[in-house]
Amino acid sequence: MRRTLISWVLLFSCNLMWSLQFTCIKLTQDQVGPLFTVWGPMLLATIFLYPFARKEFVKGKKSWKDIRVFVLLVLLGTFPAQVFVTKGTQLSLASNAAILTMSLPVITALFAFLILKEKMNRVRWISFAIAIVGVLLASMNDLKGANFGSQYVIGNFIILLAIIGNAFYNTGCKKIIERFTPVEMVFFTYLFMVIFLTPLVLYFERDVFARVPSFTTQTWLGLSLLTFFHNFLSMILFFKALKKLEAIQVALSNYLITFFGLPIAAIWLKEKLHPLAIVGGVLIFVSTLIITIIDYRIDKRKAEEGVACSVSEKV
């Protein structure tokens, strides 16, 4: 029970840090392009992680052949999740992107069923339903501003590809999590992301480098928060939690991003927090408590029954 609760605390912390992303992007958007916003903090996080990842890589007696799996995870998962969502939002509306993102736990659950053979039980369905209601209430303004007209079809499709990539990455990482440490998981993901992103940054946004000396305190603050919390600490904690929890449980917890993101935007960016958004946030939190406590007790009871059966068979 203690290890599971610690994993959930780590997961709560991850979602809190991930919810900072939207505010940090707002802080940097005036001086930094979308590709550089992803590439810069990721490059710094990769450099910071290198000595720790190298030590664990050597200690684990792994070879470079072992990390080839990250090429696939990055190409089909992280890269579209990071780059496509930026491009798709440019061709669509932010409100459309917010609504489409609600499908992430559903798609992740589908991948978890197909790849990991995980299943949705009654408690998880109830938790999922409550979370959906909560997210709809919290995103009421986005729903009002949504426009899925033909002019946004390409942008919406690209956003959906990004969400599918995100779900694939989360599920794929669960499948290989026992072979690598959390530090190695983050480092090799970022290493290949930086390799794939560098040519794009140099081609499309090389002008950003000339503006670095004129970056404001606000821009540096946003990039620093993205580097340490979003790209470094949150991912280390995420992989530690993923070792203990199922991919479906982790996916459902992603609705906490909305729960944390609303008050952060209200406090930091002075955005107005509507009563329906507050109610929605509470429902999202309740749904997470349900899957945290009740689902754990169900799994624990099944495990105890399994042990009891095996003991009785031996007797």
pLDDT the model gives residue 189:
93
Residue 227: CB atoms within 10 A of its CB come to 20
Question: By mean pLDDT, which of 55-64, 213-222, 270-279, 296-305 is the weakest?
Answer: 296-305
Q: How far apart, in whole angstroms, are the C-alpha atoms of residue 60 and residue 276?
A: 50
User: What radius of gyration do the chain's Cα atoms show?
Assistant: 20
What does residue 148 show for φ and ψ, rounded to 5 degrees?
Answer: -100, 35
pLDDT the model gives residue 311:
39
Q: For residue 308, what pLDDT band results from cuts at 50, 70 and 90?
A: very low
pLDDT the model gives residue 160:
82
Q: How far apart, in whole angstroms, are the C-alpha atoms of residue 53 and residue 183?
A: 6
Q: How far apart, in whole angstroms, are the C-alpha atoms of residue 20 and residue 213?
A: 25
pLDDT the model gives residue 94:
56
Q: How far apart, in whole angstroms, are the C-alpha atoms of residue 24 and residue 222?
A: 4
Q: For residue 183, what pLDDT band results from cuts at 50, 70 and 90?
A: confident
Q: For residue 195, what pLDDT band results from cuts at 50, 70 and 90?
A: very high
Q: CB-based contacts of 167: which residues, under 8 Å, 6+ apart?
A: 104, 107, 108, 110, 111, 251
pLDDT the model gives residue 18:
73
In this structure, are residues 41 and 226 in contact, taking their beta carbons and an 8 Å threshold?
A: yes
pLDDT the model gives residue 1:
56
Nearest by Cα to 300 from 123, 137, 155, 53: 123
Q: pLDDT tens-digit profile of 24-35?
A: 777 787 888 888
Q: Which residue has the higher pLDDT, 90 or 183?
A: 183
Q: Which residue has the higher pLDDT, 66 or 192?
A: 192
List, as own/partner pairs, every contact residues 100-106 make where C-beta atoms lie below 8 angstroms and the sequence separation is at least 24, other chains included. 100/156, 100/159, 100/160, 100/163, 101/159, 101/163, 102/132, 102/135, 102/136, 102/139, 103/160, 103/163, 104/163, 104/166, 104/167, 104/251, 104/254, 105/131, 105/248, 105/251, 105/252, 105/254, 105/255
Q: Which residue has the higher pLDDT, 188 or 231?
A: 188
Domain residue ranges of the chain, discontinuous segments joined by +: 2-314
pLDDT the model gives residue 310:
47
Q: How far apart, in whole angstroms, are the C-alpha atoms of residue 57 and residue 183?
A: 10
Q: pLDDT tens-digit profile of 207-258?
A: 999 999 999 998 898 889 888 887 888 878 777 777 777 666 666 666 666 6
Taking 60 as the threshold, does the pLDDT of residue 304 lie above it? no
Q: Which residue has the higher pLDDT, 133 or 228?
A: 228
